[in-house]
Chain A
Amino acid sequence: MKMSASHKTLFVISGVFLLILSCLGLVRGEVQTSLSDVQEAFFHYSDSDLRHIVIQEFRLPRVAMAIIAGASLSAAGMLMQTLFQNPLAGPYVLGINSGSSLLVALGTLSGISFFSTEVGVIGSALLGAFIFGVFILLSSVYLRNQISLLLFGIMLGSFVSAIITILQVTAHAQSLKAFTLWSMGSLQAVELRQIPLILVVFVIAIVLSFLIIKPLNILVLGEEAVKLMGYRVKRLRWMIVLITALFTGLVTAYCGPIAFVGLAIPNLSRILLKTQRHGVLLFANLLFGALFLVACDALIQLFSNSMLIPINGLTSLIGAPFVIFILIKKLK
């Protein structure tokens, strides 16, 4: 994968920013710490030192999750935009994470204890994302228009939130609490011990994505072009839906819904890199996505003394105007 000099420069600058903001995320907070404290907390952890506990138990998982969630959602968005040949597609607008929400809601609110366990929640979230991915894929056959597919996804989202609201009314207090906590969504919900499992799913999804780089490159010319180059279109479609479900389900399971990252960052990547080579694009989406969410998190932490802005609120605040900008550019 050869990169042009301008791409390299862009990646290096973003990488440096990501590093700085991540360190900032580890250092800043109510408990005063320094970079050497972070180093100490990593290599000479002592559970009697409050600073070490804060860094390892609170800040590290939060920053790690910001990186993983931002990267995952952006990569998922890129895959969906290529699959549907639609720059307005994304895991949130097409309702993929509604699928996760629905299944997690059904599971936890059913009162069956398995579904409230960690494995239960992740399993439900991944399965829900996959089912809705397939559902959207099947409907896309009938919804050839780019805007109709988008509206369909948004309607799907509204429909699901209606079901969830009704479920909540009828649910037991105990299970309602579990679900409400989950559905609030934040980067802070994840614990350090959960990070390895999250990383495994994350890495699997990335590796799978890199395996379909070539057919993805051709897919921008349409499914017929993919077939003409000797690839199996059906297999490719399933592969994309599976990977999207892994990325989206993973994030939704641990952070709840995070809007617009998966729509805005893939568009931004294509605009900045001026290419449709998915090897470069995937890398860019992972990097820019991570940077964006870590930056959002840093912004939240900055105001955390006066008010705690939910991550979903902030990404929507930035993402929604950007989507409108793309829409206007497209409709012109």
Chain B
Amino acid sequence: MIALKNLTIGFGHELFSVHDFNFEIGRVYSILGRNGIGKSTLLRAIAGLNSPLKGSVLIENNDIVNMSGKAVAQKIAFVNSNPLGVSHLPVDEFLLLGRSNFTSIWGAYSKDDLDILAHTKMLFQIEHLGMKYTNQLSTGELQLCAIAKAFIQGSDMILLDEPTSALDYSNKRKIYDLLLRQASEYKKGIILTTHDIELAFKYAFKFLLINSRSKTLEKISSFSEAEKEFLI
């Protein structure tokens, strides 16, 4: 569980604040908001990549600033909005980097690691990509692989910054289905940001909106509430 306490999010100047909010496992949270309002900044603050202006992020009641990088990595996986392909890096190897906290000091994989790899590739239907280099993938394939890598990491919470931005409609749906299933079946807490509002509201996500007038993060439950923010 991740708790946000009196958080002020910003990058230099104040963007918005979160009074008190808990992210639970077993659910998918979708953060909505206009461009530049600070969705990514919020996600990055939760992942410990940059610190909030004020307040604290608690992971299972531990303040993230007091936790070691390793401890945070065990609890949180983060997927960037534009993962980059690397030459000479096969997909299998890329995915297994998600197991870094479990492999030996030389980075050797165990049978378990390889089983998890095979299972995850099956879930994401990317078995055929295994030997391809990551810089030869399409943007959509790469995004799929990056999400798969986060699952392989085995952390309770998975943060995804616009995970569907480069995907076509059917792949967007595939990802959303997969995320929901992962959350309920594997007891993961998933937080994502998205601009695909209409599609997202077809799913049983929890919705959070960064309100540009009140400059706060608020819970919403219907598409019409989101429309108010985006139609002005």
Q: Give me the interface of A with B, judged by CB distance under 8 Å.
A: 1-2, 87, 210-211, 213-214, 217-218, 220-222, 224-225, 227-232, 270-271, 274-279
Shortest Cβ distance from residue A116 to the other chain B in the assembled complex, whole angstroms = 42
Contact in complex: B69, A211 (CB < 8 Å): no
Contact in complex: B88, A275 (CB < 8 Å): yes
Measured between beta carbons, the chain A residues less than 8 angstroms from B106 are: 1, 210, 213-214, 279
User: Which of A1, A218, A227, A274 contacts B88 (CB under 8 A)?
Assistant: A274
**Contact A214:B88 (CB < 8 A) given known A229-B101, A232-B69, A275-B93:** no
Of residues 125 to 148 in B, which have CB atoms within 8 Å of A's CB atoms?
A: 133
Q: Which residue of A lies closest to B133 (CB)?
A: A274
Measured between beta carbons, the chain A residues less than 8 angstroms from B73 are: 228-230
Cα A230 to Cα B97 in complex, Å, equals: 13
Contact in complex: B89, A276 (CB < 8 Å): yes
Cα A278 to Cα B97 in complex, Å, equals: 12
Measured between beta carbons, the chain A residues less than 8 angstroms from B84 are: 221-222
Shortest Cβ distance from residue B106 to the other chain A in the assembled complex, whole angstroms = 5
Contact in complex: A224, B80 (CB < 8 Å): yes
User: Which of B47, B68, B71, B93 contacts A228 (CB under 8 A)?
Assistant: B47
Measured between beta carbons, the chain B residues less than 8 angstroms from A278 are: 107
The 8 A CB mask of B42-63 against A (1 = contact, 0 = none) is: 0000010100000000000000
The 8 A CB mask of B14-33 against A (1 = contact, 0 = none) is: 00000000000000000000
User: Which of B68, B77, B89, B103 contacts A214 (CB under 8 A)?
Assistant: B103
User: Which of B49, B68, B90, B100 contacts A217 (CB under 8 A)?
Assistant: B100
List 7 A-B pairs, Cβ < 8 Å. Answer: A213-B105, A220-B86, A228-B77, A229-B101, A274-B88, A276-B89, A279-B106
Cα A228 to Cα B74 in complex, Å, equals: 10
Q: Which residue of A lies closest to B79 (CB)?
A: A228
Shortest Cβ distance from residue B19 to the other chain A in the assembled complex, whole angstroms = 27
User: Which of A211, A220, A230, A277 contacts B68 (CB under 8 A)?
Assistant: A230
Contact in complex: B69, A231 (CB < 8 Å): yes
Contact in complex: B88, A230 (CB < 8 Å): no
Cα A270 to Cα B90 in complex, Å, equals: 12
Shortest Cβ distance from residue A196 to the other chain B in the assembled complex, whole angstroms = 28
Shortest Cβ distance from residue A271 to the other chain B in the assembled complex, whole angstroms = 7
Cα A148 to Cα B101 in complex, Å, equals: 35
Contact in complex: A218, B68 (CB < 8 Å): no
Contact in complex: B93, A213 (CB < 8 Å): no
User: Which of A2, A210, A213, A222 contacts B109 (CB under 8 A)?
Assistant: A2
Shortest Cβ distance from residue B93 to the other chain A in the assembled complex, whole angstroms = 6
User: Which of B74, B77, B100 contacts A218 (CB under 8 A)?
Assistant: B100
Cα A230 to Cα B68 in complex, Å, equals: 7
Instruction: Determine if B122 is an interface residue (Cβ-Cβ < 8 Å).
Output: no
Q: Which residue of A lies closest to B71 (CB)?
A: A230
User: Which of B88, B101, B109 contacts A276 (CB under 8 A)?
Assistant: B88
**Contact A217:B87 (CB < 8 A) given known A227-B49, A231-B69, A279-B107:** no
User: Which of A210, A213, A221 contacts B97 (CB under 8 A)?
Assistant: A221
Contact in complex: B107, A217 (CB < 8 Å): yes
Q: Which residue of A lies closest to B86 (CB)?
A: A220
